Amino acid sequence: MSFSSKVKGEICRYIEISKEEALAEISAIMKVSGTIGFSGKGLSFKITTENPASARHIFTILKDYFDIHSKLLVKKSNSLKKNNIYMVLIEEDMGVRELLKETGIFKEVDDVLTIDYTIEPEMVKTEELKRAYIRGAFIGGGSISNPEKTYHLEFVTHSEEYAIQLCKLINSFGLSSKVIQRKNSHIIYIKEGEQIVDLLNIVGAHTSLLELENIRIMKEMRNNVNRLVNCETANLSKTVNAAVRQVESIKLIQSTIGLQRLPKNLREVAELRLSYPDESLKELGEMLNPPVGKSGINHRLRKIEKIAEEVRSGNY
């Protein structure tokens, strides 16, 4: 089961809600994933989803809160890679017209019936109703990627105006969702892991939230370990390269002017470095009598390298 299906399965267990919350939720579901139909049998409305938990939840909400006994249909997929399509169908004699008016999709002005796919302010007048509405929008058109791979949560809508409204509603909780167009759809998306956690909290997916937090912590720990290893590898590489360069400089001096030409303090360090090419600066310093600190050894080796450079250029 995908992480997205887990989240939907969890939030679809919300059935102990108020009638107002149920109305906000079903309104969002219908506006995100529903289509109006007209036929010889009259008006109908179809909600389509690939998630069986979502389909059962929509069917239950309609029955328990609106006394609508809808039809639950399954369209089998011929492809092994594609999921079945679940359709919740509400027909004329089931009360679809009244439901469309109640959810704000149908509006009657001066005896003229219009279709409205905006968010009714009355639907989201309290924080609980806002949460219910966003939950419905996720059930109807939301998805979340596998957090092991990437952080991405989105809502797919078919109206730019509606997408902007839903984006503002989500951002009223302090989030920073954005809207983009993808072909004929308008997408509200969030890409930051911490903000996705906050949105899961808003819709009530607390178990999924904890799972995502655990994944985030493990990924952060792995990244920190990798950064540390990379840093230590880089430092080790620099140390090895410096030691090789120092030995080459000392051997050049030895084969040209001779180490005896160096001042005593530099000659001691040069001889130690030749004898112990793999030792650290700290360890070289501890071999001297009296001992010399790491910075002191580094200073002397730099002087030796400078002398070697002068020997190479014929200026010594």
pLDDT at 109 over 80: no
| Predicted pLDDT of residue 167 | 97
The tokens 């302090």 sit on which residue?
A: 174
Specify the pLDDT at position 61. 95
pLDDT at 171 (0 to 100): 97
- Chain centroid to Cα 268, Å, comes to 57
Beta strands in 139-200 (DSSP E): 142-144, 153-157, 178-182, 185-190
Confirm if 204 and 131 have CB atoms less than 8 A apart.
yes
Cβ neighbour number for residue 135 with a 10 Å cutoff: 25
What integer best gives the mean pLDDT of the chain?
90
**CB distance 26 to 136 below 8 Å:** yes
Q: How confident is the model at residue 216 (pLDDT cuts 50, 70, 90)?
A: confident
Whether 236 shows a pLDDT value over 90: the answer reads no
| pTM of the predicted structure, to 2 decimals | 0.72
Q: What is the pLDDT of residue 81?
A: 62
The CA-based angle 276-279-280, given to 5 degrees, is: 140
Number of helices and strands in the chain (H, E): 11, 10
- With 80 as the cut, is the pLDDT of residue 111 above it? no
pLDDT over threshold 80, residue 112 = no
Could you read off the pLDDT of 127-139 as tens digits, one per residue?
999 999 999 999 9
CA distance 232 to 238: 10
Most confident of 4-8, 165-169, 305-309: 165-169
45-85 tens-digit pLDDT: 999 999 999 999 999 999 999 999 999 999 887 666 677 89
Q: Cβ(153)–Cβ(142) under 8 Å?
A: yes
**pLDDT attached to residue 1:** 81
For the cut 90, the answer to whether the pLDDT of residue 235 exceeds it is no
Tens-place pLDDT, residues 9-50: 999 987 689 999 999 999 999 999 999 998 878 899 999 999
Q: In the block, which residue shows the tokens 């004929």? A: 184
Q: Which pLDDT value is given to residue 165? A: 96
